[in-house]
Protein backbone atom coordinates (compact mmCIF):
# COMPACT_ATOMS: atom_id res chain seq x y z
CA UNK A 1 0.00 0.00 0.00
CA UNK A 2 1.36 3.45 -0.91
CA UNK A 3 0.22 6.31 1.33
CA UNK A 4 1.44 9.81 0.49
CA UNK A 5 0.94 11.29 3.95
CA UNK A 6 -1.23 11.03 7.01
CA UNK A 7 -1.30 10.69 10.77
CA UNK A 8 -2.50 7.61 12.64
CA UNK A 9 -3.26 7.90 16.36
CA UNK A 10 -2.75 4.48 17.95
CA UNK A 11 -3.85 3.32 21.41
CA UNK A 12 -0.66 1.62 22.58
CA UNK A 13 -1.26 -1.23 25.04
CA UNK A 14 0.91 -1.97 28.07
CA UNK A 15 3.97 -4.11 27.45
CA UNK A 16 4.44 -3.00 23.84
CA UNK A 17 7.29 -0.67 22.90
CA UNK A 18 6.69 2.35 20.68
CA UNK A 19 8.99 0.76 18.12
CA UNK A 20 6.88 -2.43 18.16
CA UNK A 21 3.77 -0.37 17.40
CA UNK A 22 5.49 1.44 14.53
CA UNK A 23 6.63 -1.90 13.11
CA UNK A 24 3.04 -3.20 13.04
CA UNK A 25 2.00 -0.20 10.93
CA UNK A 26 5.16 -0.31 8.81
CA UNK A 27 4.56 -3.92 7.75
CA UNK A 28 1.09 -2.99 6.52
CA UNK A 29 1.98 0.15 4.54
CA UNK A 30 5.40 -0.63 3.00
CA UNK A 31 7.11 1.08 1.25
CA UNK A 32 5.62 4.18 2.88
CA UNK A 33 7.92 5.77 5.46
CA UNK A 34 6.65 5.54 9.06
CA UNK A 35 7.76 7.17 12.32
CA UNK A 36 6.31 8.10 15.71
CA UNK A 37 6.09 11.45 17.46
CA UNK A 38 7.00 10.91 21.11
CA UNK A 39 7.99 7.64 22.77
CA UNK A 40 5.85 5.86 25.33
CA UNK A 41 7.59 3.44 27.72
CA UNK A 42 6.39 -0.20 27.60
CA UNK A 43 4.62 0.34 30.96
CA UNK A 44 2.59 3.24 29.55
CA UNK A 45 -0.63 3.03 27.55
CA UNK A 46 -2.52 5.49 25.42
CA UNK A 47 -1.95 7.85 22.53
CA UNK A 48 1.01 7.12 20.27
CA UNK A 49 1.04 9.38 17.22
CA UNK A 50 2.40 7.60 14.13
CA UNK A 51 3.21 9.64 11.03
CA UNK A 52 3.11 8.16 7.53
CA UNK A 53 4.79 9.33 4.36
CA UNK A 54 5.40 13.06 4.03
CA UNK A 55 3.75 13.67 7.41
CA UNK A 56 6.92 12.36 9.10
CA UNK A 57 8.32 15.84 8.45
CA UNK A 58 5.77 17.21 10.93
CA UNK A 59 7.05 15.19 13.92
CA UNK A 60 8.71 18.20 15.67
CA UNK A 61 5.44 20.16 15.68
CA UNK A 62 3.47 17.18 17.00
CA UNK A 63 6.03 16.61 19.76
CA UNK A 64 5.65 20.24 20.82
CA UNK A 65 1.94 19.71 21.47
CA UNK A 66 0.51 19.72 24.99
CA UNK A 67 0.32 16.29 26.63
CA UNK A 68 -2.51 14.99 28.81
CA UNK A 69 -1.65 12.15 31.22
CA UNK A 70 -3.29 10.11 33.95
CA UNK A 71 -0.65 8.66 36.29
CA UNK A 72 -0.69 6.66 39.50
CA UNK A 73 2.15 6.84 42.04
CA UNK A 74 2.95 4.83 45.17
CA UNK A 75 4.42 6.45 48.26
CA UNK A 76 7.01 4.77 50.44
CA UNK A 77 9.03 3.05 47.71
CA UNK A 78 11.62 4.03 45.11
CA UNK A 79 13.23 2.33 42.13
CA UNK A 80 16.18 2.82 39.80
CA UNK A 81 13.78 3.47 36.90
CA UNK A 82 11.44 5.71 38.96
CA UNK A 83 8.59 3.31 38.13
CA UNK A 84 7.36 -0.14 39.15
CA UNK A 85 9.31 -1.92 36.39
CA UNK A 86 12.70 -1.28 38.02
CA UNK A 87 14.48 -2.62 41.08
CA UNK A 88 12.20 -1.48 43.91
CA UNK A 89 13.63 -0.33 47.25
CA UNK A 90 11.76 0.65 50.42
CA UNK A 91 11.54 4.31 51.33
CA UNK A 92 10.20 5.78 54.56
CA UNK A 93 6.85 4.93 56.11
CA UNK A 94 4.24 7.01 54.21
CA UNK A 95 1.38 6.43 56.65
CA UNK A 96 1.84 9.90 58.15
CA UNK A 97 1.33 11.59 54.75
CA UNK A 98 -2.06 13.23 54.31
CA UNK A 99 -4.04 14.02 51.19
CA UNK A 100 -3.53 17.75 51.74
CA UNK A 101 0.22 17.27 52.01
CA UNK A 102 0.25 15.47 48.66
CA UNK A 103 -1.79 18.27 47.05
CA UNK A 104 0.61 20.86 48.46
CA UNK A 105 3.64 18.88 47.24
CA UNK A 106 2.20 18.64 43.71
CA UNK A 107 2.05 22.44 43.48
CA UNK A 108 5.84 22.60 43.85
CA UNK A 109 6.09 20.85 40.48
CA UNK A 110 3.53 22.94 38.61
CA UNK A 111 4.57 25.68 36.21
CA UNK A 112 8.03 26.05 34.68
CA UNK A 113 10.77 24.40 36.69
CA UNK A 114 14.05 22.54 36.31
CA UNK A 115 13.47 18.77 36.14
CA UNK A 116 16.17 16.08 36.23
CA UNK A 117 15.39 13.22 33.80
CA UNK A 118 15.28 9.62 35.09
CA UNK A 119 18.47 7.54 34.97
CA UNK A 120 16.64 5.23 32.57
CA UNK A 121 15.89 7.81 29.88
CA UNK A 122 16.93 8.54 26.30
CA UNK A 123 19.02 11.56 27.32
CA UNK A 124 22.49 11.58 25.76
CA UNK A 125 25.48 11.38 28.11
CA UNK A 126 28.85 11.71 26.35
CA UNK A 127 27.40 10.24 23.19
CA UNK A 128 25.54 7.39 24.90
CA UNK A 129 21.94 7.01 26.02
CA UNK A 130 21.46 7.33 29.76
CA UNK A 131 19.47 4.07 29.85
CA UNK A 132 22.36 2.17 28.23
CA UNK A 133 24.74 3.44 30.91
CA UNK A 134 22.19 2.68 33.66
CA UNK A 135 21.94 -0.93 32.46
CA UNK A 136 25.71 -1.15 32.90
CA UNK A 137 25.37 0.06 36.49
CA UNK A 138 26.63 3.55 35.72
CA UNK A 139 24.89 6.39 37.59
CA UNK A 140 25.02 9.51 35.40
CA UNK A 141 24.91 13.15 36.45
CA UNK A 142 22.01 14.27 34.29
CA UNK A 143 21.50 17.96 33.70
CA UNK A 144 18.16 19.41 34.70
CA UNK A 145 15.96 20.66 31.88
CA UNK A 146 13.27 23.30 31.95
CA UNK A 147 9.80 21.76 31.68
CA UNK A 148 6.38 23.34 31.67
CA UNK A 149 3.68 21.63 33.74
CA UNK A 150 0.41 23.47 33.21
CA UNK A 151 -1.57 21.64 35.87
CA UNK A 152 -1.49 18.63 38.20
CA UNK A 153 -4.76 17.60 39.79
CA UNK A 154 -5.13 14.89 42.44
CA UNK A 155 -8.05 12.70 41.32
CA UNK A 156 -7.75 9.61 43.55
CA UNK A 157 -6.33 9.33 47.07
CA UNK A 158 -5.98 5.69 48.11
CA UNK A 159 -2.87 5.65 50.33
CA UNK A 160 -0.18 4.74 49.75
CA UNK A 161 -1.30 5.18 46.13
CA UNK A 162 -2.59 8.35 44.52
CA UNK A 163 -3.65 9.23 40.97
CA UNK A 164 -3.17 12.56 39.22
CA UNK A 165 -4.20 14.21 35.98
CA UNK A 166 -1.36 16.12 34.32
CA UNK A 167 -1.29 18.69 31.54
CA UNK A 168 2.26 19.44 30.45
CA UNK A 169 4.54 20.51 27.65
CA UNK A 170 7.10 18.64 25.61
CA UNK A 171 10.03 16.95 27.34
CA UNK A 172 8.33 16.41 30.71
CA UNK A 173 9.05 13.07 32.41
CA UNK A 174 6.00 12.01 34.42
CA UNK A 175 8.14 9.45 36.30
CA UNK A 176 10.32 12.31 37.49
CA UNK A 177 7.31 14.17 38.85
CA UNK A 178 6.42 11.20 41.05
CA UNK A 179 10.04 10.74 42.14
CA UNK A 180 10.34 14.43 43.05
CA UNK A 181 7.04 14.49 44.93
CA UNK A 182 8.17 11.48 46.96
CA UNK A 183 11.49 13.17 47.73
CA UNK A 184 9.70 16.38 48.73
CA UNK A 185 7.47 14.42 51.13
CA UNK A 186 10.49 12.57 52.54
CA UNK A 187 9.17 9.06 51.90
CA UNK A 188 9.97 8.32 48.27
CA UNK A 189 7.56 7.45 45.45
CA UNK A 190 7.46 5.68 42.11
CA UNK A 191 5.04 5.49 39.20
CA UNK A 192 2.85 2.39 38.87
CA UNK A 193 0.68 3.25 35.84
CA UNK A 194 0.65 5.86 33.10
CA UNK A 195 -1.91 6.60 30.41
CA UNK A 196 -1.46 9.31 27.79
CA UNK A 197 -4.87 10.70 26.95
CA UNK A 198 -3.82 13.23 24.32
CA UNK A 199 -0.95 14.71 22.33
CA UNK A 200 -2.01 18.09 20.97
CA UNK A 201 -5.23 17.51 18.99
CA UNK A 202 -4.77 13.72 18.90
CA UNK A 203 -6.88 12.24 21.69
CA UNK A 204 -7.55 8.71 22.88
CA UNK A 205 -11.09 8.72 21.47
CA UNK A 206 -9.62 9.17 17.97
CA UNK A 207 -7.23 6.24 18.30
CA UNK A 208 -7.22 2.89 16.57
CA UNK A 209 -6.05 -0.27 18.36
CA UNK A 210 -3.24 -2.49 17.15
CA UNK A 211 -5.36 -5.62 17.51
CA UNK A 212 -6.76 -6.54 14.13
CA UNK A 213 -5.21 -3.50 12.46
CA UNK A 214 -5.25 -3.75 8.67
CA UNK A 215 -4.85 -1.51 5.63
CA UNK A 216 -8.55 -0.69 5.48
CA UNK A 217 -8.64 0.45 9.12
CA UNK A 218 -5.50 2.54 8.65
CA UNK A 219 -7.09 4.27 5.67
CA UNK A 220 -10.31 4.90 7.61
CA UNK A 221 -8.52 6.37 10.64
CA UNK A 222 -5.77 8.29 8.85
CA UNK A 223 -5.92 11.96 9.80
CA UNK A 224 -4.71 14.75 7.48
CA UNK A 225 -1.31 16.43 7.97
CA UNK A 226 -3.06 19.75 8.65
CA UNK A 227 -4.29 18.36 11.98
CA UNK A 228 -0.68 18.20 13.20
CA UNK A 229 -0.32 21.98 12.99
CA UNK A 230 -3.86 22.99 13.88
CA UNK A 231 -2.36 25.21 16.61
CA UNK A 232 -0.44 27.31 14.06
CA UNK A 233 -2.01 30.38 12.41
CA UNK A 234 -2.97 29.51 8.82
CA UNK A 235 -1.83 31.37 5.70
CA UNK A 236 -3.37 30.64 2.31
CA UNK A 237 -0.85 30.95 -0.52
CA UNK A 238 -1.23 31.47 -4.23
CA UNK A 239 0.00 28.94 -6.77
CA UNK A 240 2.92 31.25 -7.60
CA UNK A 241 3.90 31.59 -3.93
CA UNK A 242 3.74 27.83 -3.41
CA UNK A 243 5.91 27.25 -6.46
CA UNK A 244 8.58 29.63 -5.18
CA UNK A 245 8.66 27.98 -1.77
CA UNK A 246 8.87 24.51 -3.31
CA UNK A 247 11.88 25.72 -5.28
CA UNK A 248 13.60 26.92 -2.12
CA UNK A 249 12.91 30.58 -2.82
CA UNK A 250 11.32 33.21 -0.60
CA UNK A 251 8.17 35.14 -1.38
CA UNK A 252 6.77 38.41 -0.11
CA UNK A 253 4.23 38.29 2.70
CA UNK A 254 0.94 39.84 1.68
CA UNK A 255 0.53 43.33 3.23
CA UNK A 256 -2.84 42.24 4.64
CA UNK A 257 -1.16 39.61 6.85
CA UNK A 258 0.30 40.67 10.19
CA UNK A 259 3.34 38.50 10.83
CA UNK A 260 5.50 37.84 13.88
CA UNK A 261 9.18 37.02 13.42
CA UNK A 262 9.98 33.60 14.85
CA UNK A 263 6.35 32.43 14.61
CA UNK A 264 5.56 29.36 12.51
CA UNK A 265 2.56 29.40 10.19
CA UNK A 266 0.62 26.63 8.48
CA UNK A 267 0.91 27.19 4.72
CA UNK A 268 -2.29 26.16 2.91
CA UNK A 269 -3.15 25.83 -0.75
CA UNK A 270 -6.32 27.11 -2.42
CA UNK A 271 -8.24 24.06 -1.12
CA UNK A 272 -7.15 24.60 2.47
CA UNK A 273 -4.78 21.62 2.39
CA UNK A 274 -1.42 21.84 4.16
CA UNK A 275 1.62 22.29 1.94
CA UNK A 276 4.13 22.97 4.71
CA UNK A 277 5.24 25.15 7.60
CA UNK A 278 6.61 28.62 6.88
CA UNK A 279 7.95 31.53 8.90
CA UNK A 280 8.48 35.24 8.06
CA UNK A 281 11.93 36.79 7.81
CA UNK A 282 12.76 40.00 9.65
CA UNK A 283 13.26 41.84 6.35
CA UNK A 284 11.18 44.89 5.53
CA UNK A 285 8.87 44.02 3.94
CA UNK A 286 8.95 40.49 5.43
CA UNK A 287 9.21 37.43 3.22
CA UNK A 288 8.02 33.87 3.74
CA UNK A 289 10.70 31.23 4.06
CA UNK A 290 9.94 27.54 4.41
CA UNK A 291 10.61 25.45 7.52
CA UNK A 292 9.39 22.28 5.79
CA UNK A 293 7.51 21.65 2.56
CA UNK A 294 5.47 18.49 2.06
CA UNK A 295 5.75 16.46 -1.16
CA UNK A 296 3.15 17.37 -3.81
CA UNK A 297 0.99 14.33 -3.05
CA UNK A 298 1.08 14.89 0.73
CA UNK A 299 -1.01 18.01 1.15
CA UNK A 300 -4.33 17.35 2.86
Q: What is the pLDDT of residues 33-67, one digit of tens each?
A: 999 998 899 999 999 999 999 999 999 999 999 99
Which of 182, 210, 228 represents a domain boundary (last residue)?
Answer: 228
Does residue 179 share a domain with residue 107? Answer: yes
- Model pTM? 0.91
Q: Kindly give the confidence (pLDDT) of every residue in the chain, 300 residues in length, as a single tens digit, with 9 standing for 90 and above.
A: 566 789 999 999 999 999 999 999 999 999 999 999 988 999 999 999 999 999 999 999 999 999 999 999 999 999 999 999 999 999 999 999 999 999 999 999 999 999 998 887 777 777 778 778 778 887 777 888 999 999 999 999 999 999 999 999 999 999 999 999 999 999 999 999 999 999 999 999 999 999 999 999 999 999 999 999 999 999 999 999 999 999 999 999 988 888 898 899 999 999 999 999 999 999 888 999 999 999 865 544
Catalytic (active-site) positions: 41
Which of 212, 228, 244 represents a domain boundary (last residue)?
Answer: 228
Does residue 74 share a domain with residue 192? Answer: yes
Does residue 153 share a domain with residue 49? Answer: no
Q: Distance of CA 26 to CAs 36, 135, 170, Å?
A: 11, 29, 25
Q: What is the pLDDT at residue 228?
A: 94
CATH code for the domain of 109: 3.30.2350.10
Q: Where in the sequence is the domain holding 25, given as residue range(s)?
A: 5-64+201-228
Does residue 156 share a domain with residue 113? Answer: yes
- Measure the CA–CA gap between 144 and 17, rounded to whole angstroms: 26
- Measure the CA–CA gap between 19 and 119, rounded to whole angstroms: 20
- Measure the CA–CA gap between 27 and 77, rounded to whole angstroms: 41
The total number of structural domains in the chain stands at: 3
72 and 191 Cβ atoms separated by less than 8 Å: yes
Does residue 114 share a domain with residue 237? Answer: no
Q: What is the pLDDT at residue 160?
A: 98
Does residue 194 share a domain with residue 73? Answer: yes
Does residue 77 share a domain with residue 153? Answer: yes
The string of DSSP codes covering the chain is ----EEEEEEEEPTT--HHHHHHHHHHHHTTS-EEESS---TT-EEEEEEEEEGGGGGHHHHHTSPEEEEEEEEETEEETTSBTTS-EEE----TT--HHHHHHHHHTTSEEEEEPPPSSSS-EETTEEHHHHHHTTPPP-PPPEEEEEEEEEEEEEETTEEEEEEEE-TT--HHHHHHHHHHHHTS-EEEEEEEEEEETTEEGGG-EESTT--HHHHHHHPBPGGGGGTTSPEEE--HHHHHHHHTT--EEPPTTS---TT--EEEE-TTS-EEEEEEE-SSSS-EEEEEEE--GGG--
Does residue 184 share a domain with residue 81? Answer: yes
Does residue 85 share a domain with residue 195? Answer: yes
Does residue 280 share a domain with residue 169? Answer: no
CATH code for the domain of 259: 2.30.130.10
Q: What is the pLDDT at residue 299?
A: 45
Does residue 207 share a domain with residue 240? Answer: no
Does residue 153 share a domain with residue 135? Answer: yes
Q: What is the pLDDT at residue 300?
A: 47
Amino acid sequence: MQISAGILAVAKPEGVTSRDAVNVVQRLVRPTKVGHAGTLDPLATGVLVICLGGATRLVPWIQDGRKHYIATFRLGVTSDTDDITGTVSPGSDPSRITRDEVIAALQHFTGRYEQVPPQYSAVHVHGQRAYDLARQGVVSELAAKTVDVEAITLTVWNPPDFTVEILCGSGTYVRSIGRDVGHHLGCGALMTTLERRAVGPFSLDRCVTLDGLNVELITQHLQPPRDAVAHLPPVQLTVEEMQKLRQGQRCLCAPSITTATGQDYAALDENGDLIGVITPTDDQPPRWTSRIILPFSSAK
